[in-house]
Amino acid sequence: MSERATLVCRDLRAEVEGKEILQGVDLEVAQGEIHALMGPNGSGKSTLAYTLMGHPKYVVTGGSATFDGQNILAMTADERARLGLFLCFQYPTAIPGVTTVNFLRAALRSLGKEMPAREFLKRLNDEMAQLRIPESFRSRYINDGFSGGEKKRSEILQLAMLRPRLAVLDETDSGLDVDALRTVAEGVMQLAGPDMGVLVITHYPRILEFLRPDAVHVLHQGRVVTSGGYELAQRIESDGYEPILGTAVAEPAGV
Amino acid sequence: MAVEAKDLTKDYQWGFHDEDISVFRTAKGLSPEVVAAISQHKGEPEWMLKFRLKALDHFTKRPMPSWGADLSGIDFDNIYYYVKPVEEMGRTWDEVPESIKRTFDRLGIPEAERKFLAGVSAQYDSEVVYHNIREDLGKLGVIFSDCDTGLREHEEIFRKYFGTVIPPNDNKFAALNSAVWSGGSFVYVPKGVKVDIPLQAYFRINSDNMGQFERTLIIADEGASVHYIEGCTAPNYSSDSLHSAVVELIAHKGARIRYTTIQNWSDNVYNLVTKRAIAHEGATVEWIDGNLGSKVTMKYPSVYLMGEGAHAEVMSAAFAGTGQHQDAGSKAIHVAPHTTSNIVSRSISKGSGRTSYRGHIKVLPKARDSKVSVRCDALLLDEEARSDTYPYMDIDNPDVTVGHEATVSKVGEDQIFYLTSRGINEQEATALIVNGFFEPFVKELPMEYAVELNRLLALSMEGAIG
């Protein structure tokens, strides 16, 4: 394990149900950095997130992706998680009958981070308080009947408990009101630091006001077309994507 | 209470069998002579012999049921109907023969008793070999014995209730049990006595080609309450065994009976059980019924709601692996007004396994203002697995609330991906989903049974991931 693990994508290509969505993504995110990935609808942002985590529906057709020098494309999702990757789902799946507590304990055990029950509960309570999650949450079934906001908080709670080396946040800000967005963003900022890198995927620059990313990338038609600092997000906020991507964006060719 | 993934690869854990040390067994097959020999061997009163012979007659005349699971593999002539493993029943653990003790040690019985369970009874083949009840409960007049002892020592109560809930001519297998029954539990809880911790029994088939026909009779007198739990296992033999029990419960006015079973027969046992309860005025009967293993199970715990305000609660869970058919369900017969029934069924099928939910709700004309709720959910673990639902409802009163919900679902790729993305391997992820599906059932179980069930589930899940 090197001191700062880095996610490196080179010409990464992937398809879903026979349709190529990622068409050569180049991207580097190091542990300790916050990167934002922006782009209009259908540009392939979520596909990149799922591909990096190893969803079986997303088939890699070319290029490479490594984390900490290891080829993650040859790994199953649980192996990637054990290497230190984490995905905050945009639409987390309900697992009826599996409580948040049991789920987190099983996950920690799998990650080799098992801790005594007392310590576990203390940490869980602390993290829940931080995220303003009510206590009843512990015994609720994971994502089962959760509201949109509860799902997002639950994802950040898992992030806080599992402490990965690199977290990909897939539109974690969507559907949140301003207060919830602030809570979630503060939660992420608490965790981001030398031990954790963040790749935040978003449509909206608002969450970036809280996260102040080190780098901003714009994904378009399955490729990173431009990168810059936080000011790139600000430009998108004021002018939209068109000046950056050209008029082809609004009405993609061939549609 | 998560399933440990390492358990997923073991064999049927209770598949061991001990050397056959039986002291008496009848000839193979069924005849009036065999039935008489059983009765005579037990030194039963004349009325019981007559009861048995009449039941045998019913059994012989009655055709095999044409509905439900495939029973064509049963060879009634190739079964030992009575095997006596020991000369005398032990009252203390020390009196039980070594080989049988070893078996029960592996099943955890003395441990269970050490945890101060109210009573423990263990049946091995046809006879109960070990039996004990907590002293203070005995002093309150609580009877917990095997059924043979019940007949011998408490004939008056026994005779008053025996065969009244399930008469011998009820169905072919109830008739068979009535003819050759042996062992099982007899429980009587006097008026107003509340037994605060569960009475437990264990049943085990050890002999090849063995039939086990235990008979259980539980009576809770007015205002009494009791929780009875039984666990069942059998070793693997090359030829099939038959388990055909009859369980009768009587809950008098204001009484409460909870009956919890976890059955884990090996996959060559035909498990054909008749379970029925009568709930009088204001009484509550709860069946908590878990079915794993066996080749074929047909079992539909029923409650006859005879008195006003009586309540039935049936919660069942079934797991069918490859080659297994769990045909289970429930019946609630609403006879009196203001009666309520709540039926929850969960089933899982894997490989070529098949589960069926078969339910019958009957509301009679007088049962006004009654409430019925039925919910059955099936989970399929792969493409080949199968689940069917056969809900029958006869409602003869307009003033009744009836709810029925049924779902069939598959373990989803997205659920597995979600769990594995957190570091949990695929096998454990499936086990978590399966355990979660049974959670409403498992949380009704005492802790050690919940742990046991999750472990058994893990064993049954072996190879679920291919």
Task: Note the pLDDT tens digit of each residue in B243-274.
Answer: 899 999 999 999 999 999 888 877 888 999 99
B437 neighbourhood in chain A, CB within 8 Å: 96-97
pLDDT tens digits, one per residue of A45-56: 999 999 999 999
Please indicate if any CB of chain A lies within 8 Å of the CB of B375.
no
- Is the CB of B422 less than 8 angstroms away from the CB of A56? no
Task: Check: CB of residue B125 under 8 Å from CB of residue B212.
Answer: yes
Q: Residue B156's pLDDT is what? A: 96
pLDDT tens digits, one per residue of A177-231: 888 899 999 999 999 989 999 999 998 888 999 999 999 999 999 999 999 999 9
Give dist(CA B373, CA A202) in Å, integer.
Answer: 46
B421 neighbourhood in chain A, CB within 8 Å: 53-54, 77-78, 80-81, 86-87, 89
Task: Check: CB of residue B275 under 8 Å from CB of residue B302.
Answer: yes
Which is more confidently placed, B101 or B145?
A: B145
pLDDT surpassing 60 at residue B238? no
- Is the CB of B415 less than 8 angstroms away from the CB of A93? yes
pLDDT tens digits, one per residue of A165-180: 999 999 998 888 888 8
Percent above pLDDT 70 for chain B: 80
Which stretches does DSSP call E strand in chain A? 6-16, 19-30, 34-38, 58-67, 70-71, 85-88, 166-170, 197-201, 215-220, 223-228
What is the overall mean pLDDT for chain B?
84
User: Which chain A residue lies closest to B442 (C-alpha atoms)?
Assistant: A97
Minimum distance, in Å, between the CA of residue A41 and any CA atom of chain B? 22
Q: How many CB pairs under 8 A join A and B?
A: 86
Please indicate if any CB of chain B lies within 8 Å of the CB of A129.
no
Segment holding B440, helix H or strand E: helix B426-442
B426 neighbourhood in chain A, CB within 8 Å: 76, 78
Partner-chain residue, chosen from B2, B421, B437, that has the shortest CB–CB distance to A81? B421
How large is the ipTM?
0.95
Which is more confidently placed, A89 or B15?
A: A89
B428 neighbourhood in chain A, CB within 8 Å: 106, 110
pLDDT surpassing 80 at residue B284? yes
- Is the CB of A93 less than 8 angstroms away from the CB of B417? yes
Give dist(CA A199, CA A102) in Å, integer.
Answer: 28
Which is more confidently placed, B209 or B443?
A: B443
Please indicate if any CB of chain B lies within 8 Å of the CB of A140.
no
Q: Residue B9's pLDDT is what? A: 32
Question: How many C-beta atoms surround the C-beta of residue B465 within 10 A?
Answer: 16
- Is the CB of B423 less than 8 angstroms away from the CB of A89? no
Partner-chain residue, chosen from B421, B426, B438, that has the shortest CB–CB distance to A53? B421
Give dist(CA A99, CA A136) in Å, integer.
Answer: 11
B365: left (phi over 0), alpha (psi -120 to 50) or beta: alpha
Encoded amino acid at B77, one letter: D
Residue of A93, A108, A151, A169 to mutate when probing chain B, most B C-beta within 10 A: A93
Give dist(CA B67, CA B46) in Å, integer.
Answer: 36
pLDDT tens digits, one per residue of B39-91: 998 899 999 999 999 999 999 999 998 888 889 888 888 888 887 766 556 66
- Tell me the backbone φ, ψ of residue B462, rounded to 5 degrees: -50, 130
C-alpha torsion A84→A90→A94→A99, nearest 10: 50
pLDDT surpassing 80 at residue B121? no
Q: Residue B466's pLDDT is what? A: 31
Q: Residue B399's pLDDT is what? A: 92
Residues 33-72 of chain A whose Cβ lies under 8 A from any Cβ of chain B: 53-57
Q: Facing residues of A50 across strands?
A: none
Q: Residue A247's pLDDT is what? A: 53
Q: Residue B49's pLDDT is what? A: 97
pLDDT surpassing 60 at residue B351? yes
Please indicate if any CB of chain B lies within 8 Å of the CB of A120.
no
pLDDT band at B174 (very low <50, low <70, confident <90, very high): very high
Please indicate if any CB of chain B lies within 8 Å of the CB of A96.
yes
Partner-chain residue, chosen from A86, A97, A158, that has the shortest CB–CB distance to B436? A97
Q: Residue B318's pLDDT is what? A: 93
Task: Check: CB of residue A147 under 8 Å from CB of residue A202.
Answer: no
Q: Residue A252's pLDDT is what? A: 44
What is the overall mean pLDDT for chain A?
91
Rounded to an integer, the average pLDDT of A58-86 is 97
Please indicate if any CB of chain B lies within 8 Å of the CB of A89.
yes
A214: left (phi over 0), alpha (psi -120 to 50) or beta: alpha
Task: Check: CB of residue A99 under 8 Å from CB of residue A147.
Answer: no
pLDDT band at B237 (very low <50, low <70, confident <90, very high): low
B440 neighbourhood in chain A, CB within 8 Å: 97
CA neighbor of B200 nearest in space, from B119, B254, B277, B266? B119
